Amino acid sequence: MKKSLFLFVSIAVSLFCFTSNTFAVDGWASMDGGTTGGEGGTVVEVNNVDDFTYYAEDTHQDPYIIYVNGNITLSNNVRVRGNKTIIGRPGSHISGNLKCYREEESNNIFRYLDIDNYNEVGDGDCISIDSANHIWVDHCTFTDGGDGNVDIKNGADYITISWCKFQYTRDSGHNYTNLIGHSDDNGSTDRDHLLVTVHHNWYSTMCKERMPRVRFGQVHVYNNYYSDLLTGGYCIGVGVEAHIRVESNYFDDVYDPWKDYYTGNGADGHIGWNTDNIFNECTVPTWATNEYATIFVPPYAYTLDNGADVPAIVQNGAGADGNDSNLPHWAFGPYGDFDRSGLVDTNDLAQFAAYWLETDCNQVFDADYDSDCNVNNYELSLLAENWKVTPPDTTPPAAPENLWAATDISTILLDWADNNEPDLTGYNLYRSTTSGSGYSKLNVSPLTDSNYTDSSFTYLTTYYYVVTAVDTSENESSNSVEAFAIADGNTSVFVQENAMGFCNVDGIVDTEEHSGYTGYGYADTENALGNGVDWKVSVPSAGTYYFAWRYANGSSDRGARLLINDVEEAASINFPATGGWEIWQYLEVPVSLTTAGIKNVRLEATGSSGLANTDYFRLTGTNPQIEICP
């Protein structure tokens, strides 16, 4: 078979020099000897599937630098056999699945590839990394991976995914982007492996889950931008024995920045995050303890960009068509603010003077506003215009915390914790009949108190509320955690998953497997005796209170007991079968409470099948309240 091999010395040398000079492997892929790909090997350029397959597969572990030019459509997995660097030329495209399988297919580099797997060829991923090590995936664009875009499993190690863009053109029901870790039962293979760095990636249009989802590994997630995602999903999945370090990312109006994916088969996952992660129109999940002080520290050097700068930096640089050059200083503030202090002043003059009348385009990049390779009077006028102009306040207040709702005969009462910003104006309260979207503002002007009485509702309608904080510059915070209520004439409080008063589930808060739930999801315990769900409420006086749950239970009954402050108040509660896991019913138990005060409520399985799936907990009686979990 004739190969499209271009061995002209001048071309080969120029290609090799380009490759060497632009490589800067970082993260976990740089450790334990580093990742070199096809460095020192033969340079080839391919434009058809036969040649591409030959150089990727049939050259075995011989080092090659393979440039892709044109469109290549694969009909099955192409095994990248090891010691390969595959680089996409501008305008090139690959459809199908590239696979690094087993240790001998290690030490590969993928850069500037535009790749899709819309037709779910081979394993269904765009790139599969299975049992291989030392893989660097950089500046690639991934579209419509049928199973995943880049999946890493079965003891794979020393992987870096950097400066990539992930996107979908359809909602396939499986828009799951990056899986790290094969399964909960794969600890014998994955434990002490799956060392992965994920940085400066853009998780964008219609991504829904696994950005990434992690089991077992030590995964460093930093400076990633999450935007325009499908609702109802999550960004980072914290699975069994995962250790995830999350630093200076930007979560832009996402449904759930990270989700508990511990399913009970082994030790809990761990996540730690720094204070520079930005949550725009979303909130920090409340279910996880921040283990940043004790989570693993990467052994490699890295530099964090400011979380607030991540959208501009990543949108400029990520993907196969990403720009490798840095952004000029005015991408982050006014022209002339070279030191990024927020003010153009005498501290910036020396830097500007150094650029003055310089004509080298590369030297004046950070001062040449009109891109004419000259810093002259035009730039000077911009500097003068911005001189000592105090920039507008664009920093919003923090999202209000501890929002909860209670109903009585004729009103829905909302309460939340006070914000303490010195420039706080007040609060806006929003209501919807759909969880997570469709909110309408209830107040005309900002509320000055951290409570509200809603009397403009429709009887027996389910409502969802969020509150925001507003400052004197009209900056508005992201939404609070959602509160939930049904006004039916009773004095009640309702506790949803991941909201105030929801303390723990011995399992997961599920959003995927079954439908028909209200709010964020439902509590799904592991199937074992003694597993349960915990809530925290309080009552102002002794008396009879009604403890109730909306639940689904499949085809067989399940038993439970009710513990209040560790005392068994109901020894045998039967949750009858509902006839299907998407058929929800309501069960209520009266309990005579002999004391007022805080009540730690636990519903606990009395059989090996665990509890029924629980949608929400409701307490009815004399003015109950929801309390903050420890």
Classified as helix, coil or strand, 67 is strand
Strand order in the sheet with 84-88: 42-46, 64-68, 84-88, 108-111, 133-138, 157-162, 195-199, 218-222, 243-247, 270-273
**DSSP string covering 448-465:** SSSEEEE----TT-EEEE
How far apart CA 160 and CA 178 sit, in angstroms, is 12
CB atoms within 10 A of CB 229: 26
The alpha-helical segments, DSSP class H, found in 345-449 are 346-355, 377-385
Q: How far is CA 580 from the centre of its chain?
A: 31
Q: Is there a contact between 232 and 291 (Cβ–Cβ < 8 Å)?
A: no
Catalytic residues: 210
β-pair type (558-564, 597-605): antiparallel
Instruction: Name the phi and psi angles at 312, rounded to 5.
Output: -65, -45
Placement of tokens 């696979």 in the chain: 99
Q: Is there a contact between 276 and 306 (Cβ–Cβ < 8 Å)?
A: yes
Closest CA to 375 of 359, 390, 362: 359
- For residue 580, give the DSSP letter: B
How far apart CA 7 and CA 303 sit, in angstroms, is 39
The alpha-helical segments, DSSP class H, found in 422-572 are none
Peptide bond into 212 cis (omega under 30): yes
